Amino acid sequence: MRVIVARGSGFCFGVKRALEIVEKALGEEKGPFYTLGPLIHNPQVVDRLSRKGLKVIDNLKGIKEGTLIIRSHGLPTATIELAKKKGLKIIDTTCPYVKRAQEKAKELESKGYQLVIVGDRGHPEVKSMASEKSIVLQRPFQVEKMESYSRIGVVAQTTQSLENFKGIVKKLRSRTKELKGYATICNAVSRQQRSTRKLAREADLMLVVGGRDSANTKRLFQISERLTNAHHIEKASEIDFRWLGNKKIVGISAGASTPKWLIDEVARKVKGYGN
């Protein structure tokens, strides 16, 4: 049996960077430390960080001291301001690609463009870019319900597909005389999807490793299960050896929030099958 791990599986640049900053702070600085929502969508990593002192909270109510860690998705400016007013120290791990999208959104609004964000309305990253006046669109057909504006500026949530962004931009031309757009898309996720699709075509079983709440991992699982037998697991102990019988090639893929040690454990367990 061959075991192949899809290229680019696991932590993307932004998640790796955020974790390095956080681990350093937890080791060197005085707490308490908080994040609004889990730092990444991986329960094993979140557990590890909580043992080192990082607390996950839903809002800033009742928080009077300590350090607020801004996740790689970023936070709305108003929330950061509130934290500062409360006297909290801020450690910002916003991914530079997300930061660029936030800056472009701000720039367009300050120049008088009606801001359109291509993305998922409830996603923290979109919330971090949006203002009260901005419009969030997920699909091109939603442009039809939109009013016209003299100037429209458009940016994207970093994990959007370029195809969807282009589809929306094309339709927006009918809603304005002046359109300015920035394709603020990060390729890490689309690269992972491409390598997973390629591997799933040749593997007779795919194991997709990552948090149950990780949208990015769920997407890799959907891609895999369309092409071959596939299972979404969080850790090696979830592998059922009956899945492995008669398999020649087992592919492993993992979302952008899955640490390497979890991927390695899965690979080791599969390789150990039958030994």
- Residue 87 CB: number of other CB atoms within 10 A? 10
Cβ 128 to ligand SF4 shortest distance, Å: 12
Catalytic-residue membership of 125: yes
Of 107, 70, 64, nearest to 88 (Cα)?
64
In the bound state with ligand SF4, the residue whose beta carbon lies nearer, of 95 and 105, is: 95
Nearer residue to ligand SF4 within complex by CB, 63 or 254 = 254
How far the first Cα of the chain sits from its last, in Å, is 12
Q: In this structure, what token pair is assigned to residue 194?
A: 């491409």
Report the nearest approach of ligand SF4 to the CB of residue 170 (Å).
24
- Minimal distance, residue 105 CB to ligand SF4, in Å: 14
Nearer to ligand SF4, 114 or 216 (CB): 216
Q: Are 7 and 274 in contact (CB under 8 A)?
A: no
137 and 170 Cβ atoms separated by less than 8 Å: no
Shortest distance in whole angstroms from residue 222 CB to ligand SF4: 18
Nearer to ligand SF4, 176 or 193 (CB): 193
Cβ 158 to ligand SF4 shortest distance, Å: 4
> Which residue, 100 or 231, is less far from ligand SF4 as judged by CB?
100
Contact positions vs ligand SF4 (CB under 6 A): 12-15, 72, 95, 97-98, 158-159, 186, 188-189, 256
Catalytic residue selected from 23, 107, 125, 163: 125
Query: Which are the catalytic amino acids?
Result: 125
